[in-house]
Every structure is written in C-alpha cells, then in structure tokens.
C-alpha cells in the first residue's frame, strides 16, 4: 500500500440524519476516520447500524448531511470513491452456483486488483482446498469467510463490514480479527458493526452507540 | 480505472452469467420452450387454413417472442439482488452503466439468441413465404436486444419489490408496443413483396436509442431500488 496516498485519506461524516418509515434513526451524527483507525458501531437491533454503513458506502443517501472522502462528497466521487472501499454486507454477495475461485476472480475484476491472488486470499481465510468447490456446498461460516476474502483481493483502504463475524466459529473469528488488525496496521481504515466483542487490541477504536 | 480492467470486467461478467446459465439451464430453456409451444399451438388451434396462418403468422411469432422475453426478464437482476452481488456492482470501481450493459448482453445471449435461431423453423410452421422468414429473422435480430434493453430498465425499477411481477408487465408491455407494431408489419409487408427498408430503419433506430440510453437509466434505477 502506498503510504503517501493512504496517509492523506480521511472519511468524514457531517451532521448525518437517517429517517426510516417516519422514525428518526439518528441525527446530527458526525465523526472523522483516519488511516489506521477503526470505527465500531454499536446499538440495539433496528437502531440504524446497517443503514449508516450503507450510507458510508454510498448505496443509501442520508436524509440530511453528507459523507466526504478527503473533503469531497462521496456521491460526487462515485466510482472514484468506490475504488478505495470494500463492503461486505449481511448478504454475502457470493454466487452460490460459482466456485469459490470464480467468485473471487469476478470480485477482483470489479475493483482495483490488490496484491493477493484469489488463491492466496482463500488460503488466508483458511479455505485452502475449497477453490473449486461450488459455493453452494460450503457451510454458512465458510461462505462468510469467502465473502471476507473479497476484502483481500482488492486494494481498498476503507473496509466497511456489516456483522462480519456472523456464523463464524471461534477460530474463524480469530482469523478475521487478525486480518482486520493487519489492515489497520498497514494504514487501512475500518467501519464495522458487530454483536460480538471485537478484539482489536493494537488499533485505536472509535465507538459510536446509535441507541444512546 | 484503465480501459483494460474495464473491458476485462465486462468480459468476465458476461462469461460469469453464461457459466451460471449453463449450470442452471432452466433459465435458458424456459423462454425458448414457451416460445416454441405458443407458436406451434396456433396452427393446431386455427386449423388447416394456410392463408389465414400466413396472415396472422408474423404477429403470432412476435407476440410470442415478446411474452417469452417478458417471462425471462425478471432473471436479469433478481438473483443478483437476492444474494447481494448487485450491491457489489454498484460499489465497483467501474461505471455501473457499463456493467449493466454486460448483464443485458449476457441476458440477450441466454434468452434472445435462442429465440432468434429457432424462428425460421417456426416461420415455416406458420406457412410464411421465404421473403417473410428472412425479414422475420432480421426484425428479431434487431428487435430482441431492444426487448432486453428496455426490459432491464423496468426490472431495475421493480427488483426491490417483493412481488414485482405484475407491475413489471404493466410497465414493460406499453414500451414494447411500438416495436411489436413495426416488426410484425415489416414481416407482413415483406410477405406481400413490398420494400421494408423504412420499417427496418425504424427498428434499428429503436435499437440504437435503447442501446445508448437504457444502460444509464438502468444504472440509475438500480441505485434507487437499492437505496
């Protein structure tokens, strides 16, 4: 990762408000995320964590306020912003009738290809040996790890993760936590929601509680 | 983003959809089967009246093609929406309109092209003269991509709705009507031995128009559906 480029990045939220079905989920939300930092969103079910992450991705528009990347509105940046981000939502985004490798090859072509090849990424998430298995035949936890392997194959600075630990076992959680820590250590950013306790010991974590 | 990586993504996306269609063949075979069944039932229903068949033939084939297209339309984005891959296209570092074009092209290759290839046989079944069959083939060649392109806009608008099927047909069918009118009258005119350049030019114009505008409209509609 190029240091001079990543050091200058920052993600800022200005007075974000999100209204869903006439209920205000949050308003006046502001934060600033810099390289090497993690943003952990907390809150009860339905408190707007997923909505906030989708706003940060640029899929959903905030009702007021804006999200900016290096000072420019992400809605104006469009694809120029998306090449710096990788998103794993609560739907995995894998095609069940493709093999693990085919899924990653496609995902890699959609973004800015990173250092790891699909096979190397599968090895990093402990799916070595499953390259040619249809995704349908993998277990839920394995499918989740395949989705998370997508983070490794593109050269994205900002990882946006919605409940990444869902259906992972203890070992899987530790593997993913190591990936997250390695990412922030090398100057990456994280925005994450999780019901599990996230152990990111070496990473400065900003916590935002949306139920408060 | 360089041109190379964009064209690579374009080609990979088409290939991915073709691979999926080969692994799950019903999607490919259903519209074709529908097209053949509907068209071949008409001669049985109408009876042994070759002159009448010849008159209504072009209309029958085009209506069947249109409904077969409608039948397969929902599959353009439905499964991608359900498994979350659609979000990944919107968040890709390439222009969404180009990715959409790849999806629509793949959809045409899977559902439109088989109809096109089988149509001369069905033309013979409906007693169309050779000139009519040739023009029928050309109208389908120009027209079936229009079905996929216009359809993709409407599918993109309705993909977020749980039961979008009915609304989809209401949205799409009026937009298909001009194509239906020009195409079936082109075949009629050709069967009567008259020149059809004007009809074909109009259908080609529809193709160019939808090819240049619909990817942008579809991309915008997908953003609305997913937000």
Q: Which residues contact A152 (CB under 8 A, 6 or more apart)?
A: A114, A116, A120, A121, A124, A125, A179
A105 touches chain B (CB under 8 A): yes
CB contacts, 8 Å: A59 with chain B: 87, 90-91, 223, 226-227
CB contacts, 8 Å: B1 with chain A: 79, 83, 112
End-to-end CA distance of chain A: 37
Burial pattern A17-47, b for ≥16 Cβ within 10 A else e, equals ebeeeeeebbeebeeebbbbbbbbbbbeeeb
CB contacts, 8 Å: B75 with chain A: none
| Domain extent for B86 | 3-226
CA distance B91 to B218: 15
Taking an 8 Å cut-off on Cβ atoms, the answer to whether B19 and A98 are in contact is: yes
A83 touches chain B (CB under 8 A): yes
Q: What value of ipTM does the predicted structure carry?
A: 0.86
B-facing residues of A in 130-189 (CB < 8 A) are: none
Residue A5: pLDDT over 80:
no
Total count of domains within chain B: 1
Residue B28: pLDDT over 70:
yes
B25 touches chain A (CB under 8 A): no
Residue A3: pLDDT over 70:
no
A-facing residues of B in 91-120 (CB < 8 A) are: 91-96, 99
CB contacts, 8 Å: A94 with chain B: 83-85
pLDDT digits (tens, 9 = 90+) for B183-204: 989 988 888 888 889 999 999 9
pTM here?
0.90
């Amino acid at each position: 990762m190029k240091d001079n480029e990543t050091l200058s990045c920052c993600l800022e939220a200005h007075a974000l408000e999100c209204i869903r079905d006439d209920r205000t989920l949050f308003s006046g939300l502001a934060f600033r995320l810099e390289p090497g930092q993690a943003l952990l969103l907390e809150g009860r079910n339905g408190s707007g964590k997923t909505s906030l992450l989708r706003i940060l991705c640029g899929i959903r528009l905030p009702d007021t306020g804006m999200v900016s990347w290096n000072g420019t509105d992400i809605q104006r940046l469009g694809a120029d912003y998306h090449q710096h981000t990788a998103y794993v939502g609560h739907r995995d985004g894998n095609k069940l009738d493709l093999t693990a490798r085919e899924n990653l090859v496609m995902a890699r072509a959609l973004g800015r290809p990173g250092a790891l090849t699909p096979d190397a990424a599968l090895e990093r998430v402990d799916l070595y040996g499953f390259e040619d298995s249809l995704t349908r035949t993998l277990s839920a936890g394995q499918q989740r790890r395949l989705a998370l392997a997508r983070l490794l194959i593109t050269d994205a600075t900002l990882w946006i993760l919605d409940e990444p630990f869902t259906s992972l076992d203890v070992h899987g959680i530790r593997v993913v936590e190591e990936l997250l820590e390695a990412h922030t250590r090398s100057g990456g950013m994280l925005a994450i929601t999780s019901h599990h306790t996230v152990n990111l010991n070496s990473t400065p974590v900003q916590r935002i509680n949306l139920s408060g | 983003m360089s041109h190379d990586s964009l064209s690579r993504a374009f080609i990979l996306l088409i290939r991915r959809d073709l691979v999926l269609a080969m692994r799950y063949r019903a999607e490919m075979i259903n519209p074709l089967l529908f097209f053949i069944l509907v068209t071949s039932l008409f001669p049985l229903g109408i009876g042994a009246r070759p002159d009448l068949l010849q008159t209504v033939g072009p209309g029958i084939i085009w209506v069947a093609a249109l409904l077969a297209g409608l039948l397969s339309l929902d599959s353009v984005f439905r499964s991608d929406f359900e498994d979350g891959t659609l979000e990944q296209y919107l968040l890709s570092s390439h222009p969404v309109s180009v990715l959409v074009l790849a999806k629509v092209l793949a959809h045409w290759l899977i559902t439109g092209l088989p109809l096109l290839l089988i149509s001369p046989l069905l033309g013979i079944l409906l007693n169309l003269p050779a000139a009519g069959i040739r023009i029928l083939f050309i109208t389908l060649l120009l027209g079936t991509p229009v079905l996929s392109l216009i359809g993709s806009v409407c599918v993109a608008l309705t993909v977020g709705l749980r039961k979008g099927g009915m609304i989809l047909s209401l949205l799409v069918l009026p937009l298909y009507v001009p194509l239906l009118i020009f195409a079936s009258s082109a075949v009629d005119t050709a069967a009567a031995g008259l020149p059809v350049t004007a009809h074909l030019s109009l259908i080609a114009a529809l193709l160019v128009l939808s090819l240049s505008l619909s990817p942008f409209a579809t991309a915008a509609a997908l953003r609305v559906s997913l937000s």
